[in-house]
Amino acid sequence: MAGGVRQRQFGEPGPAGAGEAPAGRSGVTEAGEDGVDRKEGEYRDVPLPTHTRLSILSYADTYGTVDGYLLRHPRDLSKPYPYHLPHNQWQRIVKQSDDVNVPEGMVIYGLRHFFASNCLSHNLPITDVAEWMGHKSIDVTSEIYRHLMPGSIGRAAKLLGLGLAA
């Protein structure tokens, strides 16, 4: 299994954020995550903050790509980046550095939940979030993150009431 970020998509602007330049999109290739098996060359679009997009473009300009992929295996540049390396590097950082204050139990995979939670708590459509997360079904996203949308029934009732009163 490997995960990668394809550089070719970073030049395509996405929708503009509030007060920001157009956000970028990345193509993410992953295998085996959340029951999603992607074939080589398959990807999904995910939103990127402008500063992240610019950092990635700078990295690509500085270090280049191999077959369009930014990250490669550190020992064999012809191979894709192994999915387990970020976790291993994170563990080394946490164990070896007294300067880094990482909360107990925090793992790099938690950034994925941070992303989904922030999107949903800011009322982005669950269908979009499910797609960005690579979930095969919206049911997976709903089951994991439904607690972040407890007011949706109340909001729907108010909207229906406003529509009937008009």
Q: What's the pTM value of the predicted model, to 2 decimals? A: 0.63
Tell me which of 38, 72, 98 is where a domain ends: 98
- pLDDT reported for residue 5: 52
Q: Quick one: 82 and 116 in the same domain?
A: no
104 in any annotated domain: no
Model confidence pLDDT, tens digit, residues 51-94: 988 998 898 899 888 777 788 888 888 887 887 888 888 888 88
103 in any annotated domain: no
Q: Quick one: 127 and 49 in the same domain?
A: no
Task: Count how many domains the chain has.
Answer: 2
**Overall average pLDDT of the 34-49 stretch:** 67
Give the domain extent around 137: 109-166
Closest CA to 79 of 94, 90, 66: 66
Q: Quick one: 92 and 18 in the same domain?
A: yes
